[in-house]
Structure 1
């Protein structure tokens, strides 16, 4: 088939999803505002498929009648979302800003990416509400994802899209937290396919009395499942591979400085990893599928990896 820069037409379904992977559950990326003391680590968010730099990853104990702002910026050894790299297994940087008034919020993020469509970066805007009902902290929001400057926008003319998501968090005792979330897009990454995602996670915050002053330590883990509708006819009319992902790690916080060390993986085969991501560096030698992967190309963009991430949060 005719090449379009780094990807063929039939690869663009995977190309689009590579962008989508890093942005899933955007408005529910971090902890919902909880009633907690200032000493509690706000950086050990239970990540349910969060994008890399969401300001929402910091807990926000807001006043009903006060306008508040938060921001964060940092670097990571790899930009990984649900086990799939968005930076081509290379380092990435990002920043985020969020404004809140009571339970309402709006924010924006930017991040460096290395996607087959070659955008200049990843930019998002989001808005929503974070109410507390009974003992559950909810986050309901809508996010628009933009990838300006794509050199190879493909037959769908780009991968911009929007999604809606809901998440709930609950504390259990002094140190344990549980979370679950769901997200839906009617046209994920402009492929013509709907997408759905379910995830759940668990967190443990080391009690502050057991730690030095101003130090927070959180252990978190989560698992999620993604599935999709059929893409547009020009992308093959087939659904992208449904798959599981999981991650676990530890987050250290000292005042505004945060450091996270985390393991990611998926159950995608190397052949389906190529179908999913459109990895331009994929190599031959895999199992041939006449519909989704006629060249039998394989990719390592979805395999096990350990990521180190450091950022400042204000």
Structure 2
């Protein structure tokens, strides 16, 4: 069943990407760099509640995109860096803006014998405008989560709304399901401020319903700054 699910999702993404016309869309490249007080991913600290420095690059050609992103991490096992590779297609169907993609999460300096941390996810996401804001939903599926913990699915509902030209509010609620234990719910709510057209600040509260899993699952506030160019 897992193999069939992956095959169907991959086939759909391939058909969608294959139908995209690139003739009138010149490729563009954008870069980003930033720092945060904590690297929080789906409610969990990836830096053992420490600071984060990150950066990435994105190539866009019409509705197709591909990119990479790097960040320091601290899992208390010697692993020091995460590198993501991703690609996808962003079609529009009526009022719905879709994002169909694949993401690979790799890790550097992993100590031998600690298990396989790397994994791949297939993403299907969409958003619709509601007044001045947007409401969206996303599903991420991995056939094998880190440390051979089985298939995993993450489902999220999210939304954002501008307050004025510089301020905006956004939040999300999600559920992470893993075959081999580890299920939990997560949510976040934050405010963003555009310092300039290329530099933004974000202050966000994150939490989960499984504090018993460890301190990295506890509620926390994270501040970040990001520049794009």
Matched, 1:102 2:17: no
Give ranges in structure 2 of 5+ residues lacking alignment.
Answer: 1-21
Structure ranking higher on relative contact order (CA contacts 8 Å, 6+ apart): 1
TM-score by length of 2: 0.86
Does the 8 A contact of 1:257 with 1:311 survive in 2? yes
Does the 8 A contact of 2:149 with 2:178 survive in 1? no
Matched, 1:205 2:159: no
Report how far residue 120 of structure 1 moved: 3.1
2:202 is aligned, of 253, 256, 260, to 260
- 1:35 corresponds in structure 2 to none
Report how far residue 192 of structure 1 moved: 4.5
Does the 8 A contact of 2:54 with 2:69 survive in 1? yes
Q: Deviations over 1:192-218 (max 9, x none)?
A: 40000110012111243xxxxxxx211
- 1:235 corresponds in structure 2 to none
RMSD: 1.7
- 1:307 corresponds in structure 2 to 222
- 1:186 corresponds in structure 2 to 143
Q: Deviations over 1:209-256 (max 9, x none)?
A: xxxxxxx21100110001111xxxxxxxxx223111000000111221
Does the 8 A contact of 1:117 with 1:152 survive in 2? no
Report how far residue 74 of structure 1 moved: 0.7
Does the 8 A contact of 1:199 with 1:223 survive in 2? yes
Judging by fraction of residues, say which structure has more strand: 2
- 2:178 corresponds in structure 1 to 228
Counterpart CA distance in 2 for 1:71 and 1:109 is 10
Counterpart CA distance in 2 for 1:111 and 1:225 is 24
Q: Deviations over 1:159-204 (max 9, x none)?
A: 112110110011112x121010001000112414000011001211
- 1:132 corresponds in structure 2 to 92
Structure 1 pair 308–64 and aligned structure 2 pair: CA distance change class (3 A): farther
Structure 1 pair 178–63 and aligned structure 2 pair: CA distance change class (3 A): farther
SS at structure 2 position matched to 1:301: helix
TM-score by length of 1: 0.63
Matched, 1:243 2:153: no
Report how far residue 308 of structure 1 moved: 0.5
Counterpart CA distance in 1 for 2:147 and 2:108 is 14
Counterpart CA distance in 2 for 1:63 and 1:245 is 42
SS at structure 1 position matched to 2:146: helix
Counterpart CA distance in 1 for 2:155 and 2:62 is 27
Give ranges in structure 1 of 5+ residues lacking alignment.
Answer: 1-61, 209-215, 230-238, 274-298
2:168 is aligned, of 208, 218, 222, to 218
- 1:114 corresponds in structure 2 to 74
1:88 is aligned, of 48, 53, 70, to 48
Larger Rg: 1
